[in-house]
Amino acid sequence: MIKKKFTDYRIINKGDRDYPERLEKIKGAPAKLYLRGNLPDPKKKTVAIVGARNASDYGLTLAKTISRILTLNDVQVISGLAMGIDTAGHMGAIEVESPTFAVLGCGVDICFPTHNSNVFERMLDYGGGIISELDVGTPPLPYNFPLRNRIISGLSDLVIVVEARDKSGSLITADYALEQGKTIFACPGRVGDSLSRGTNNLIKQGAYILTSADDVLEHLGMIVDGLMPKKEKDINTLDYYEKSVYDVLKDDTLHIDQIVDKTKLPVVKCLNIIMSLELNGFVEATINNYYRRVTE
């Protein structure tokens, strides 16, 4: 059942002063936008993070971590509020109380999927926005979603695809981005993994390979003359499991098997946590699956 309870919105028509300049330039620019909250700040860089709904734990961790680092460096994150990678991208921003923006395939008075209502509301709490070209009350019909993807890419400076199957809505967003002259970054994955086929194919076709948020920041011109962006270093920002892994590396360089043994965490979960800690600059890999804390 679709929950309808969000009724405060405004309409911005094409040609209005508030209409996004980025959208005015794209083919098939929407005639009007319904908006709850705010539009992305046109003076700031904006990045779309999209990917599979049925994402892996690895993909979810990567999307959230990349989003968190980007937003900490004053880059706005936009996506489509879908389950999986979209939600993880939004949550990375929300967890550091930064604005994030969603373009819906339904009216702005409808939260879809319904169990994302908490994300929906928290986006507005931190200065983000809910955007749609569809009239209030329009249900989330399947044919609405491919069209909304042109708005996601249109509002962005570049698009990151984290995980995607062969026939994925994320690839439609990538196609629109290419048509609009935008840059695409794709996260490489294992050969033969169904969730990596779409991203690996994008790389074969010329997309940039994403290995860290720094790749994106450098492309956006935010790393200049070797000056690295600020990193999240406050250990108080770590969750319980991240802190447990960080703590066991206090005095030693440890192999992944030793970290698993000391923390009693499942291997896959432990690897995902280490990846998050690496991306945030807390730990680094040495050789042969050994890890240590980063020292300033």
What's the CATH number where 18 sits?
Answer: 3.40.50.450
What does the DSSP assignment read for 185-222?
Answer: EE----TT-TTTHHHHHHHHTTPEEPSSHHHHHHHTT-
Q: What is the pLDDT of residues 146-181, one digit of tens each?
A: 999 999 999 999 999 999 988 888 999 999 999 999
Q: What is the pTM of this model?
A: 0.80
Residues 209, 228: Cα–Cα separation, whole Å? 19
Sign for the CA dihedral angle at 111, 112, 114, 120 comes to negative
- Two structure tokens written together for 42: 């046109």
Cβ atoms of 213 and 187 within 8 Å: the answer is: no
Boundary (domain end) residue, out of 195, 219, 243: 219
| Mean pLDDT to the nearest integer, 77-85 | 96
- Two structure tokens written together for 224: 């200049």
Burial class (CB in 10 A: 0-12, 13-18, 19+), 175: middle
* 3-state SS, residue 235: helix
Most confident option among 9-23, 194-208, 276-290: 9-23
| Residue 172, amino acid | I
Q: Are residues 213 and 269 in the same domain?
A: no
- pLDDT at 5 exceeding the cut of 50: no
Tell me, what's the pLDDT at 4? 41
Identify any residues that bridge with 77 across adjacent strands, giving them in sequence order: 47, 100
Please state, in angstroms and as integers, the Cα–Cα distance from residue 272 to each residue in 56, 157, 210, 242, 246, following that order.
Answer: 10, 28, 17, 10, 13
Q: Are residues 212 and 239 in the same domain?
A: no
Residue 132 structural domain: 10-219
Domain contains 227: no
Most confident option among 2-16, 95-109, 231-245: 95-109
Boundary (domain end) residue, out of 219, 244, 273: 219
| Mean pLDDT to the nearest integer, 260-272 | 90
Residues 116, 237: Cα–Cα separation, whole Å? 23
Residues 24, 219: Cα–Cα separation, whole Å? 24
Q: Are residues 154 and 212 in the same domain?
A: yes
- pLDDT at 286 exceeding the cut of 80: no
Boundary (domain end) residue, out of 187, 219, 251: 219
Q: Are residues 104 and 159 in the same domain?
A: yes
Residues 223, 73: Cα–Cα separation, whole Å? 10
Alpha carbon distance, N-terminus to C-terminus of the chain: 52
Q: Are residues 173 and 208 in the same domain?
A: yes
